[in-house]
C-alpha cells in the first residue's frame, strides 16, 4: 500500500491552520505536469500563542524528517527544504542535522524581518527565491507553480510528523494543542482531534474559577468564545488561550490585536495597509465611531489580497459578539470600560 493511500485512508488533514486534506494536496503535486519537484517543510510558526511545531521538532525530529523523506520518495522530488523560524534554527539545527544525515534536505532560515506573513506558503517561495516577502496572486498554486516555477509540496511540521505515523501504522488521530494565558498549566499537549475545548481544559486542569473567555486557533487570528461555547473542537493550528475577564479591558485587547496586524502587514494591498491603520485611529479616538469601525472590518474581510487582512475581523468581531454582547449586565462592570454599550449596539 502506497503512503498516499495510507494518508487518504487516515483522512489526514494539514495542521498549519487551513486543515486542507493532505492526500489531496499530495495527489495534486503527483498528477501535475512537470519533472522537477520540491518538498518544503513549513516550520515558520509565526502565529502568537502557538508553540507546537517547536515542541515536535525538539521531541520528535526523526518523525519530521521521516515525513519529508517519504514525500521526497513518493513524489520523486530531488530536494527537501526545512523553512524554519530563526529561533528554532538556532535551538534545533544540530538535532535535525543528526537525523537528516546525508539526505537531500537543506535549511532555509525564515528572515527575521519577514514577520507573520513570512509563514504564508507563497511568501515562503518568495523568501527562498530572494524576492520581496509577500503573498503571490493565486492561482497558480504552489502545487503546480511553486519554487522556481516547479511543482512544490508545502506541508506543516505537524502534518509531516503525522505522515510518518500514518506510514508506520501508529497514527491515532491525535493533534497537538498549545495552552496559554491566565491558567495554571500552560504548554503543549497531545489529545484526540475530536476533543472539545472544555474537555481539554478539564484534562489539563485548566478550568479556572473566575469569569473567563478563550481564544482558539492562535492569539492573533483565532476566534474568541465565551465560557458557554466550549463544547466544540479547536480550530486552526490548535491553540487555546484563556483570558480573565477582570484582567483584560476590551479596548486594550482590541488594540493589541490591531497593533499586531499593523506591524505584520506586508503593505501590498490598500485594504489591509490602510484599513488596520484607520481601525487603530478610530479605537484610539476619545469618541470612537463604532459603526465606521464595523464597516472597515467588513471591508477588510471582503477586499484584502491575502489571508492576513481577511482574518483581522475574526478575533475582534468574535470578541464583541461572543463576549461583550453576550456577557450579563451584572458582569459588564468587570471590564472597567465606558464604551461597551456603544460597540455592542452595532453588533446586536
DSSP letter string over 11-68?
T-B-SSSS--BHHHHHHHHHHSS-S-EEEEEEE---STT--HHHHHHHH-HHHHHHHH
Break the chain into its structural domains and give their ranges: 3-167, 174-244, 250-345
Instruction: Note the CATH architecture for domain 3-167.
Output: 3-Layer(aba) Sandwich (3.40)
> Radius of gyration of the chain from Cα atoms?
21
The mean pLDDT of the chain is 91
Give the model's pLDDT for residue 332: 53
Which position has the higher pLDDT, 12 or 287?
Answer: 12
Give the model's pLDDT for residue 336: 47
Q: Global pTM?
A: 0.92
Other CB atoms within 10 Å distance of the CB of residue 9 = 12
Give the model's pLDDT for residue 337: 55
Q: Using pLDDT thresholds of 50, 70 and 90, give the confidence band for residue 330.
A: very low
What is the tens place of the pLDDT at every residue in 229-271? Answer: 999 999 888 999 999 998 998 889 999 999 998 888 877 788 7
Q: Is 220 exposed, middle or buried (0-12, 13-18, 19+ CB in 10 A)?
A: buried
Q: Decide: 196 and 230 in contact? Cβ < 8 Å.
A: yes
| The CATH number of the domain covering residues in 174-244 | 3.10.20.600
Q: Decide: 114 and 123 in contact? Cβ < 8 Å.
A: yes
| The CATH number of the domain covering residues in 250-345 | 1.20.1440.230
Smallest Cα–Cα separation from 49: which of 217, 249, 227? 217
Give the model's pLDDT for residue 55: 98
Cα 34 from Cα 26, distance rounded (Å): 14
SS3 82: strand
What is the tens place of the pLDDT at every residue in 138-192? Answer: 889 999 999 999 999 999 999 999 999 999 999 998 999 999 999 999 999 999 9
Give the model's pLDDT for residue 196: 97
pLDDT > 90? residue 203: yes
What is the tens place of the pLDDT at every residue in 75-110? Answer: 999 899 999 999 999 999 999 999 999 999 999 999
Average pLDDT over residues 46-69: 96
Give the model's pLDDT for residue 169: 96
Amino acid at each position: 500500500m502506497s503512503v498516499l493511500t495510507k494518508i487518504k485512508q487516515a483522512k489526514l488533514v494539514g495542521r498549519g491552520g487551513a486543515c486542507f486534506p493532505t492526500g489531496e494536496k499530495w495527489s495534486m503535486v503527483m498528477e501535475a505536469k512537470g519533472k522537477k519537484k520540491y518538498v518544503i517543510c513549513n516550520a515558520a510558526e509565526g502565529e502568537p500563542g502557538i508553540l507546537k511545531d517547536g515542541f515536535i521538532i525538539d521531541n520528535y525530529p526523526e518523525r519530521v524528517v521521516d515525513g519529508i523523506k517519504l514525500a521526497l520518495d513518493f513524489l520523486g522530488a530531488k530536494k527537501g527544504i526545512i523553512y524554519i523560524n530563526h529561533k528554532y534554527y538556532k535551538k534545533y539545527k544540530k538535532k535535525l542535522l543528526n537525523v537528516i544525515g546525508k539526505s537531500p534536505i537543506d535549511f532555509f532560515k525564515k528572515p527575521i524581518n519577514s514577520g507573520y506573513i513570512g509563514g504564508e506558503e507563497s511568501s515562503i517561495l518568495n523568501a527562498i527565491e530572494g524576492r520581496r516577502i509577500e503573498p503571490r496572486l493565486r492561482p497558480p498554486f504552489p502545487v503546480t507553480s511553486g519554487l522556481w516555477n516547479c511543482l512544490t509540496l508545502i506541508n506543516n511540521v505537524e502534518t509531516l510528523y503525522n505522515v510518518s505515523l500514518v506510514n508506520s501504522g501508529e497514527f491515532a488521530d491525535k493533534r497537538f494543542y498549545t495552552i496559554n494565558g491566565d491558567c495554571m498549566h500552560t504548554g503543549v499537549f497531545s489529545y484526540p482531534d475530536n476533543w472539545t475545548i472544555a474537555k481539554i481544559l478539564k484534562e489539563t486542569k485548566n478550568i479556572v474559577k473566575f469569569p473567563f473567555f478563550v481564544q482558539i486557533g492562535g492569539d492573533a487570528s483565532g476566534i474568541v468564545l465565551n465560557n458557554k461555547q466550549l463544547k466544540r473542537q479547536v480550530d486552526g493550528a490548535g491553540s487555546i488561550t484563556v483570558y480573565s475577564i477582570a484582567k483584560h479591558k476590551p479596548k486594550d485587547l482590541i488594540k493589541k490585536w490591531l497593533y499586531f496586524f499593523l506591524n505584520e502587514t506586508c503593505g501590498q494591498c490598500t485594504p489591509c495597509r490602510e484599513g488596520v491603520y484607520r481601525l487603530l485611529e478610530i479605537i484610539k479616538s476619545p469618541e470612537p465611531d463604532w459603526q465606521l469601525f464595523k464597516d472597515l472590518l467588513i471591508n477588510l474581510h471582503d477586499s484584502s489580497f491575502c489571508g492576513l487582512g481577511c482574518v483581522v475581523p475574526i478575533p475582534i468581531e468574535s470578541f464583541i459578539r461572543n463576549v461583550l454582547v453576550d456577557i450579563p449586565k451584572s458582569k459588564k462592570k468587570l471590564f472597567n470600560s465606558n464604551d461597551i454599550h456603544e460597540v455592542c449596539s452595532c453588533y446586536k
